[in-house]
């Protein structure tokens, strides 16, 4: 990998900031290796200054400065923002984080021969525990792919998927933090109802989620078996499981992902 590879974020909103913060937190890159632009330059300056990264006036300047360009504007702006700088992008590694923008759609926007990869990250990249769902179909060289993995695996699981699974995998990992946060909040509400201080309830609920996820990853256990392991016959946990089922917990979660797919039709 090229030493001190320069990253250029086109768009520095929620997702780009989450990625930059994770990369800096984990020391995957130094602040001076990051170039960013946004629509409103004055607003961008404060965020760039706080992180010690380079603010750029526009997408052209960002792309010129960078080796690897991360496209992080809203999907409806991708074509409009990239078309004027397509010549520059042909010489770069282009990484997209825009939802609903797989390889073939980029082929309509970028010049032939441009090296590009479509990914869907999630916001926990900001603490180095995220996910990058990546489309298997891409045009990066082996060396560029290695550079991407070397940098971004520091802040999340890099998971390749076939094109037809990119949407649903991205929804599970990208929308999931909202659902998981609702679960944390709901658990805390239940505990507060019975006298636990709210801050303590959040701390316990969040660590419980972290620990359960890590345990599943470490053991590879079936989640049902992990549930069974906590449910003693006639015990308290199974009473809670029964109450969740009575209120449609499992089907509510399934419906959430299903509703997202229907919205995209």
- What are the residues binding ligand NAP (CB under 6 A)? 10-16, 37-40, 43, 59, 72-75, 77, 81, 97-99, 120-123, 174
For the bound state, the minimum distance from the C-beta of residue 72 to ligand NAP, rounded and expressed in Å, comes to: 5
Q: Which is nearer to ligand NAP, 85 or 151 (CB)?
A: 85
* Residue closer to ligand NAP, measured from CB, 29 or 78: 78
11 vs 22, beta carbon nearer ligand NAP: 11
- Contact between 184 and 206 (Cβ < 8 Å): yes
Shortest distance (Å) from residue 37 CB to ligand NAP: 5
Closest CA to 19 of 168, 99, 132: 132
Closest approach, Cβ 220 to ligand NAP, in A, equals 27
CB of 39 vs ligand NAP, minimal distance in Å: 4
User: CB 101 → ligand NAP: shortest distance, Å?
Assistant: 7
What is the DSSP pairing of strand 156-161 with strand 130-135? parallel
CA neighbours closer than 13 Å in the CB half-sphere of residue 114: 28
Contact present, 51 and 31 (Cβ < 8 Å): yes
With respect to ligand NAP, which residue has the nearer C-beta, 69 or 72?
72
Of 53, 87, 254, 81, nearest to 172 (Cα)? 254
Which CB sits closer to ligand NAP, 99 or 166? 99
**CB nearest ligand NAP: which residue?**
13
Contacts of 133 (CB under 8 A, 6+ apart): 119, 120, 121, 159, 161, 166, 169, 170, 173, 174
DSSP assignment string, 175-224: HHHHHHHHHHHHHHHHHHHTT--HHHHHHHHHHHHHHHHHHHHHH---HH
Q: What is the C-alpha separation between 117 and 119, in angstroms, rounded?
A: 6
Based on the number of CB atoms within 10 Å of its own CB, is 34 exposed (0-12), middle (13-18) or buried (19 or more)? buried
Which lies closer to ligand NAP via its Cβ, residue 72 or residue 201? 72
Minimum distance of ligand NAP from residue 98's CB (angstroms): 3
């Amino acid at each position: 990998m090229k030493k001190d590879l320069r990253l250029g974020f086109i768009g520095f909103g929620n997702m780009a900031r989450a990625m930059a913060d994770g990369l800096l937190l984990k020391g995957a890159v130094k602040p001076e290796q990051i170039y960013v632009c946004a629509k409103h330059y004055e607003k961008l300056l404060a965020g760039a200054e706080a992180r010690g990264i380079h603010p750029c006036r526009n997408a052209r300047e960002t792309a010129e400065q960078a080796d690897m360009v991360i496209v992080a504007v809203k999907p409806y702006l991708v074509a409009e923002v990239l078309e004027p700088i397509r010549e520059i992008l042909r010489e770069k590694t282009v990484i997209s984080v825009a939802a609903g923008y797989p390889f073939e759609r980029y082929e309509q926007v970028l010049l032939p021969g441009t090296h590009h990869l479509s990914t869907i990250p999630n916001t926990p990249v900001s603490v180095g525990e995220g996910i990058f769902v990546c489309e298997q179909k891409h045009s990066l060289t082996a060396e560029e792919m290695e550079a991407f993995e070397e940098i971004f695996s520091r802040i999340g699981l890099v998971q390749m998927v076939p094109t037809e699974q990119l949407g649903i995998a991205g929804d599970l990992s990208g929308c999931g933090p909202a659902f998981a946060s609702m679960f944390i909040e709901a658990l805390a509400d239940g505990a507060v109802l019975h006298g636990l201080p709210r801050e303590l309830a959040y701390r316990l609920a969040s660590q419980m989620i972290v620990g359960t996820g890590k345990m599943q990853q470490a053991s590879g256990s079936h989640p049902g078996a992990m549930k069974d392991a906590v449910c003693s016959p006639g015990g308290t946990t199974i009473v809670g499981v029964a109450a969740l089922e009575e209120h449609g917990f499992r089907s509510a979660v399934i419906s959430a992902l299903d509703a997202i797919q229907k919205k995209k039709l």
